[in-house]
Amino acid sequence: MTATDLKSYRPPVIELSEEGDELLEVAMGPHHPSTHGVFRMDVALDGERVVRLKPVFGYLHRNHEKIAETTSYLASMPYTDRLDYFCSLTNNWAYAIAVEKLAGMEVPERAQYIRVITAELTRIQNHASAIGFLLQEMGASGTPLMYAFREREKILDLFEALTGSRMMCNYMRFGGCRVELPKGWLEQVSKIVDGLPEFIDETEALLTGNEILMARTQGVGILKPDLAVNAGVTGPMLRATGVNYDIRKVDHYGIYDRFKFRVPLGDHGDIYDRYMIRILEMRESIEILKQAIKDIPAGPIMDPKSKIRGFRPKAGEAYGRIEAPKGELGFYLISDGSPNPYRYRVRPPSLINLTVLEDMCLGRNVADVVLIFGSVDIVLGEVDR
């Protein structure tokens, strides 16, 4: 350091806690193993206690929404796969609903059933994976995550047989689905669905009453219902606070009004409740799947009036939304009558649910931050878009 440098040098400002102790600032990420992608949390610590936490994201921004405004409606369907890449089929469905509202299209019965079946399979593999990752971050390295991935692989095999891809499925079309079910596919679904209760029972036997899991999650990362509603939080995170809100019940989109299923609710809004909500929602998805497999009719899978080429919805606007595994996933579209959307916006549950992270972490130890963050269940492809 030169004499000039020494003259201009200013020591860093040391922030003090209320008790006069120095605060330690830690940047967790963007390549921290717990962040599920490129995400950073700037954490201020008083000892090990969190006094401030600011999420920093945008590292995975891909210009998704602006690209969609410069391409045709159909050409954006594969891009929706890449939002929440665990849940491409539900992403497809939410976008398809928005365009179908905009264009006034009908969806045949059989396609509606196929959409429900693929959506509930998606919910199960998402929740199983989220629980596996949560336990991995708690220190139970390997076994719970591998158990979850074992079941997920069976479901991805079904997706591959149906769509040709395990994760980037690009399967929904405006007015129906891209291809008919392969021969024997429904029988395979039924066989896997019949085996899922045993997997959930096994998971619960290992985890639900586990002392370490309860000690690390009960009373930790509490989200109050008022804050959850005011922040727009949805999905298992909202229902864990006790708020009864599930878009499958509220909107009855698709054909969900035909199925009997419960909406599990929590009492405390902590990490443990979020874990239990996902377990219980998997059980409800199994019941929906059994009903859908039993009742699926024969018939066309595409609206005969739908157009693949020269698709130009009349001028107007529409918002389509679904209960995706992570919460409310919506697409807002404005048409000016041209082949491309004039405006295209996504309402991503991963981003909205992440906004309350600091509220859940304040006053907790830094070790709890990783678990609280894991219990939100986000995918950065959807957060950043």
pLDDT digits (tens, 9 = 90+) for 195-252: 999 999 999 998 888 899 899 999 999 999 999 999 999 999 999 999 999 999 999 8
Confidence of residue 140 (pLDDT cuts 50, 70, 90): confident
pLDDT at residue 1, rounded to an integer: 58
pLDDT at residue 3, rounded to an integer: 66
Q: pLDDT digits over 312-351, tens only?
A: 888 999 999 999 999 999 999 999 999 999 999 999 999 9
What is d(CA 143, CA 141) in angstroms, rounded to the nearest whole number?
A: 6
- Beta bridge pairs of residue 346: 331
Query: Which pTM was predicted?
Result: 0.88
pLDDT at residue 89, rounded to an integer: 93
